[in-house]
Amino acid sequence: MSKHILVTSALPYANGSIHLGHILEAVQTDIWVRFQKLIGNECYFFCADDTHGTPIMIAAKKAGKTPESMIEEVQKEHYKDLTSFGVEYDNYYTTNSEENRKFSESIYLTLKKNGHIVARNIEQSYCEHDKMFLPDRFIKGTCPKCGAKDQYGDSCEVCGTSYSPKDLKDSYCSICGTTPVLKESKHLFFKLQDFQNQLKTWMEEGNRLNEGAQKKLQEWFTSGLQEWDISRDGPYFGFAIPEEENKYFYVWLDAPIGYMASSLNHLKDEKKFNEFWKDGKGEIVHFIGKDILYFHGLFWPAMLMGSGYKAPNQLNVHGFLTVNGEKMSKSRGTFINASTFAKHLDIEHFRFYMACRLGSGMEDVDISFDDFVSRVNSDLIGNLVNLVSRVSTSILDKMDRKLGSLSVEGKSLVSELLSKETEIRDAYESRNYSKVMREITGLGDKVNKYVNDYAPWNLIKTDVEKAREVVTTSLNCAKILFTYLAPVTPKIALAIKELFQVPALNFLNLSETIENKILGPYQMLSKRVEEKNISLMISETKEAFEKSNPSPSKQEPNKSNTNETKVNTVFEDGFITIDELSKVELRVGLIKEANPVDGADKLLFVKVDLGEKGIKNVFAGIKASYTAEELVGKKVVVVANLKPRQMKFGLSEAMLLASGKEKTLSLFVPDRDANPGDLLK
């Protein structure tokens, strides 16, 4: 029996352009939805723009527009960019809709009636210049933990610490620069703790969450679930809270309700809507990034549970997109907008490469442009596309474009490809797309070997019918391979369908062979990646950033300022001062955990206890000299104040000291008893 599935991806915020990070999630979701449809399931794909909040209101004011007109323009731009990457929505809506307002009010009033809402006064940061309470993201200051400047009011982007805006040092309003004051205001809270047992049961059922996401949620259960502030003071662009004065729903309350609004807007039929959201006759599947797991894994299902709706069946959580092993950067030209990529490169190449990189966990996904060029040109073009082009162009023309019958050998090769169907289906279902790509390219290698062994371009000169037999086998294998690949490269799959003159390429007709049939004309399926186009794309991104962020003009030094001195880190004679040395904080660390890093030949991931400095995560290139097991319990010397670095595999927060060559490294260890956190002098 076919399944009935409602799928959503996270809602892009209507205060910026779509970039490759958004596209990663949209493509991951689209591949899964297309697969479900290709195996015969009824599957809907809904999304919307997230349109409420103070940032939208202020951005519209700066642009001289109303919030409504601005979000309408942005929604059109978002939809154009997302769909240009082959993402096919059944409905792409907006959270600023009548359906969303009604659902938000109804859910809130039900929660309130059932005793899950409480009101109390809290102190908040208030800007007396702008006459408004400041959301966390409109307060900046110095991180209370690591001292990084210009950090947001809720978390530090350098060390990752979360905190209250009141904890920030030297805080200021990010709109006008004024120092905020504390002011009391009545706020409304959702009692999340009322649902602790229900949420724990929900979280642990079946395959609702991947292991990493479940462990992360478990941390919040261990520390105890807290009440959630769901109100904001006016002025605020959003829905007014019923039965309250000058209070508005916090954007994170009505944003996920946008999934429901988009569903009803498309389905129209309330009975069909309830099959998914109330009756449990259909499945609800969300795709999100790990940065919003807290909202989707706790608040959202609890809201649904408390208001008579069904919590999601699956929560599929992915990591961030990095470029060349680092966070996307506007100044380096790697914070790439979707429209810029589509201007210079083939979007199906991005879809293919992301599928090669995406597993079922929530590890970060890296796009290395060197690897991108190599993987696309070798696996997609050289292996799969070339398999079709080399036997369906001039060779097939010489046979009047007519296929023959499959030989015994041909049927055996086709059967070998079909035998992988269950394995490929399971990998798609579990979102292990990288496994799917490995299987497909491995099968492609076998078919290409078959073609090379027979060399039909030579065979046709002496035995036309034998050449026809080889071509028939090759193209029947290609039909299977591109059906397997169809969720990833729908545009290429469409061209293959037209070449083979079949109604559709799907898993339901996978085993149907194409024999004794005239094929349509060959259309170019895809071209190789040109490295110059990548350079052009990065240059354009950098230029756009530099244009909008001009560097300050160089000024002559003020010679009258006697306090201004030039500081050298290393003097011309190669020495440093004692002051420079004192900046390096060397401490004793106790290795608490050590594990290999998937996909890394040289790295081990270790957790190092630095006493009062806490536990630091370190990616250390010592795998050739140490096993993970022998590291646990070892005391080492650590550079404790190294600026955290976002690597391909995660954030590295310190460095272990070692000497020697790669395979004979020796870690620095304390000679006598030392405690974790002890400072080296």
Q: How many residues does the chain have?
A: 681
Token readout for 20 is 């490759």
Q: Which of 378, 401, 199 is nearest to 296 (CA)?
A: 199
The kind and range of the H/E element at 426 are helix 421-429
How far, in Å, CA of 517 to CA of 514, rounded?
7
Strands 321-323 and 650-652: unpaired
Q: Is 677 left (phi over 0), alpha (psi -120 to 50) or beta?
A: left
Report CA-CA distances (Å) from 230 to 79, 108, 225, 300, 411: 29, 10, 15, 12, 62
* Summary count for the chain: helices (H), strands (E): 24, 26
Residue 651 pairs in a beta bridge with 646
Joined tokens for residue 46:
């809904």
- Residue type, position 264, single letter: L
Q: Is 330 annotated as a binding residue?
A: yes
CB 673: neighbour CB atoms within 10 A? 8
Angle between helices 67-83 and 54-62 (to 10 degrees): 100
Contact (CB, 8 A) for 210 and 287: no
Could you tell me the two tokens for 55? 């940032």
State the Cα–Cα distance between residues 449 and 443, nearest whole angstrom.
10
- 13 phi and psi, to 5 degrees? -80, 140
Task: Please check if 156 is assigned to a binding site.
Answer: yes
**Beta bridge partners of residue 169, listed in sequence order:** 142
Return the bridge partners of 181, or none. Answer: 126
Does 145 show up as a binding residue in the annotation? no
**Segments of 555-634 assigned E as strands:** 586-596, 604-609, 615-620
Instruction: Please answer whether residues 637 and 656 qualify as being in contact, where contact means their C-beta atoms are separated by less than 8 angstroms.
Output: yes
Which tokens is 422 given?
């269950």
Q: Which residues are annotated as a binding site?
A: 143, 146, 156, 159, 330
Q: Which residues are annotated as a binding site for ATP?
A: 330
Q: Which residues are annotated as a binding site for Zn(2+)?
A: 143, 146, 156, 159
